[in-house]
Amino acid sequence: MYLENARDLFRGIIILVFAAVAYWGNLVVGLALIAFVGVMTLQSVVTDWCPADLIFRPLGLKKKLESRK
């Protein structure tokens, strides 16, 4: 698995968990957390760095371009 795939998987799981929080818990908190994920997604597109990289890099995941070298 590549770093990009792990980011997408993690992002999808987090959005589903936060949607469950919005549905079964507090709507405002759940929507705020989903908005936070959206902001972090925009930030990762611009900077090509995601806070989840701090978890996935030590696990040995590499970017697609790095693994081909």
Tens digits of residue pLDDT in 11-60? 999 999 999 999 999 999 999 999 999 999 999 999 988 899 999 999 99
Is residue 68, in this structure, part of any structural domain at all?
no
Is residue 69, in this structure, part of any structural domain at all?
no
Q: What six digits make up the tokens of 65?
A: 């371009």
* Residue range of the domain that includes 30: 3-63
The pTM of the full predicted model, rounded to 2 decimals, is: 0.83
Is residue 47, in this structure, part of any structural domain at all?
yes
Is residue 34, in this structure, part of any structural domain at all?
yes
Residue 69 clears pLDDT 80, i.e. is over it: no
Number of independent structural domains in the chain: 1
Radius of gyration of the chain (CA): 14
Is residue 18, in this structure, part of any structural domain at all?
yes
Q: What six digits make up the tokens of 64?
A: 């697609």
Is residue 12, in this structure, part of any structural domain at all?
yes
Is residue 33, in this structure, part of any structural domain at all?
yes
What type of residue is 8?
D
Is residue 54, in this structure, part of any structural domain at all?
yes
The confidence score (pLDDT) of residue 66 equals 73
